[in-house]
Structure formats: structure tokens, C-alpha cells
Amino acid sequence: MSTSTEPVHADVLVIGFGKGGKTLAATMGRQGKRVVMVEQSAQMHGGTCINIGCVPTKALVHRANSRRDADEPQAWHQQAIGAVEQLTTLLRGKNFQMLDTIDTVTMVTGRARFLDPTTVEVAAGSDRLTISAETIIINTGAEPVIPDIPGLRASEHLATSTDLLQTSTLPNRLVVLGGGYLGVEFAAMYRRYGSEVTILEAAPALMAGEDDDIAAAATGILADDGITIVPGARCTNVHDNSDNSVTITYEQNGVRHTLQADTILAAVGRTPVTRGLGLEPAGVRTTDRGAIEVDERLRTSQPHIYALGDVNGGPQFTYISLDDSRIVTDQLIGTGTRTVKDRVAVPQTVFITPPLSTVGLTEKQARDHGHRVTIASKPIAQIAAMPRARIVGDTRGLMKFVIDADTDQILGAALLCLDSQELVNTVALAIRHQVTASELRDAIYTHPSATEGFNEVLATIVPA
């Protein structure tokens, strides 16, 4: 950052180099608008997904699944971390270049803090730069939550997902606090690298938001892979030992237990990053959960300030941040009609092996909404018309569709199977465009593919 104290004025100021922010900055820059992009760290160009989120974690999942029993765990993991670091470095550079090559976009490295509703100060060491703008975009993302457990924060064995992505040493024993998407992804990944893995989940079961049959199937796969799952576990204490291990104390059904580990992964959720932004002098309100309060067009309590991505408290997915950028771009240079209410059938995937992908309503939700439903469901191992699963040697899991019995419309689906992260997008498109279950059943798919399993599964529709 320049040491110049001359204030800078921009048409658009973007705070945070996340998916939504960088996309909007590039769009506005190509429109000839004067854009300033502020990112506190040069190691975060491109945002969470590229540097410490989706890309490195899924790359590590891929390399974990490629490990053979004969491959030494520590060496394989170390090699994987190095390869992923090279990948993220490459992508980080490409993302920086994407904006740096636009003449009207200026990149600034430092921490931004609002001075008033239209002005921020960016600090980098002793340097200070004042930036004012007509439109301001906050895209600062989220950070891991560290639960308030005695001894945990002070423990030398505590790690976040970010820490693990940057650590080449494979823990022999990993304890995961939290059985949500992040927790089970890391648990499954590190088990395949060779760690002994235990998940401590406070809820009575993993994946409580899914139907019981789906949650049971996914939990069974994790358990069959050798992961120890402890539901209903309340962690009460963490204590570092002299032998470079850590002891975790927890209660289950009123009984006290302890276990030893080398590393504790805190995976109980992520919270919006708003600390130090100076939102009060900006007049920007936050919710009870600490997210920036926005309306359906992502405007904050100050109409010229928008919040995109995880910081606004919406679903914490890169593709939601991207869609946020479309909504705000429409406000700035479009018709101004696009809102978050336009989102229908947004899919999601948890990258265990095989992955679990869901979209729309669960069976329970559909019934609670008053639908008369039918179910089409079949274990992957029993789908004759899906040879791809046998070709690659993974027939675990199942497909399940929730269908409106009166209209034949697909209400939702849970796909626990090979390639489900791709299959679910087809189902989501069908829901959005009201393609019926019968049409999806009778469609022509390539062979051999996982998609052709739809032909057989959707032929099993039965009342439930």
C-alpha cells in the first residue's frame, strides 16, 4: 500500500476479496467504474474458497481417497499438503491478476475500518490510507468459532480447519468437536489419510437435519470407515499433557469419559467477520448472531452499503456469495428487481466418501408443509442400471427422491453416492423448471454414468 496520505475516492469500494466481492469488483471495473478492492492479507486474494475453503479441502479429499494401504500415511499427507499449497498459490495469483489487469480497479492491502458511512481508513503497519466511496461492499466472510470449553483456547493442540490445511504433520489421533458438514468432511478425510478419528457431537445424532434413513446411511459409512462417533457428547474440559498429547473430558448420558488425542479440531461452526470494521460509526446494524443485517436486496441499514457472502448471515456457500454479487450488480447497473427470494432449490454437498448431496425438502419437511408425498428410494448397490458405481468400486449409499403425489413434482432429493455433487445439479434444475419425476425417470442419459441411476430409482415410486 502506498504511504501517501492523500485520500482516495472511488465509485465502488469492496472490503474483502471473496467470491462475491471480486466478481462484483471485476464487473464494475469493466464498466469503467473506479473500484478499490481492500484485502487485509495478500494470502487471501481470491477469498476463503480458494485459499482455506472449498478448493484446498476438496483437493485434500481427492488425495486422501487416492492413498493405498501400502502408502505411508505421514509421507502421503505431507506430499498432499505440498501439492495443495502449490494449487492455492497458483489460483491466488490468477485471482489477483483478474482484478489487477483492469485499469480502473486498484488493489489495496490492509485492514479497513469505517470512519463514517462513506469513508474507511485502511491500515497496514504504520501506513494509513483514507478511502471514500459512493457504494461500499462488505465481503469479509466468516471465521471458525472456538467453543467456550475450559482449557480449549489455551491448548497447544487446538486447530481450526485453516490450521490443518497448513499443517504437514498428520495427527495420529484426531478429535473433531462438532459433527456438522465441516466436521464430518475433515473426519472422513483424515481417517483416509490414516489418523484415528473421533467425532464428539453434542446433538443426539449426526446430520440431524436429514431424514433418519439418510442420516443413518451416512453415519454408517463413516463408522464402517473406522471413525468413532460419539453422539450426545458434552465437552467439559481440555488439558494438555506433558507427553505432547491432550486429554478431552466429556459427558455422555450423565457419565464422564476421557480420551487422548494429538490434535483437536474445532468444527462447531463459523461466525461472520465484523470485528474491527467500525460498523457503529458507519451506521450499519448487525443481527443477534453477529451477521450484518441486510434486506432481500442485500442492502444494509445504510442503503449505499451492501453485505455479500458469509458476513450477511446467509448460507455459507461460495455459490451463494456469487449469487449475492449478481443481486447487488442488478441493483447498481441493472433493473434492480433481483432478490434473494429468487433462489429456488439451492443444492449442497458434504464431501464425505461417497459425497452426500441434497436439494429441496426432506421427506419430513414435505409432510410438515402439508404435501401428500410418495418416495422413490434405492440403495446404490441394488441399482442395476448404474454400472459406473461398480466400475469405480464404490456401491455404498442410496438415492432418495421426495415427490408430490398429486402433481408428480419433485420436492427434494438426497443423493448419497458417487458423483452426487454433479447429479444434484440436474435435480435442482428439474425442481426449478418443474420437470416432473416421470420426465426425469424417462430421460435419456449417457452410459455408463451415475445419472442413469435416475431411470431405475424413479421407477420405484411408492406411497410412504
Q: Which three cell numbers stand for residue 285?
A: 446494524
- What count of other Cβ atoms lies within 10 Å of the Cβ of residue 307? 31
Distance CA(459)–CA(353), nearest Å, equals 26
Distances (CA, A) of 282 to 9, 25, 133, 292: 17, 21, 13, 12
Cα 228 to Cα 226: distance, rounded to the nearest angstrom: 6
Enter the C-alpha cell of residue 396: 455404498
Residue numbers annotated as active site: 447
Cβ(403)–Cβ(383) under 8 Å? no
CA atoms within 13 A on the CB side of 368: 6
Question: Going along 67-191, which residue ranges are E strands?
Answer: 105-109, 111-116, 119-124, 127-138, 142-144, 158-159, 173-177
- Name the residue type at position 273: V
Residues 60/166, Cβ–Cβ less than 8 Å:
no
Spatial contact of 193 and 77, defined as CB atoms under 8 Å apart = yes
Strand intervals (E) in 380-442: 398-404, 410-416
State how far the alpha carbon of 453 is from the alpha carbons of 339, 361, 383, 422, in Å. 35, 21, 7, 13
Of 201, 192, 327, 186, give the one whose Cα is nearest residue 263: 186
Rg (CA), the chain: 24
Instruction: HSE, CB side, 13 Å, CA atoms: give it for residue 156.
Output: 6
Relative orientation angle of helices 54-66 and 181-193, to the nearest 10 degrees: 30
In 309-397, which ranges are E strands? 348-350, 356-360, 373-379
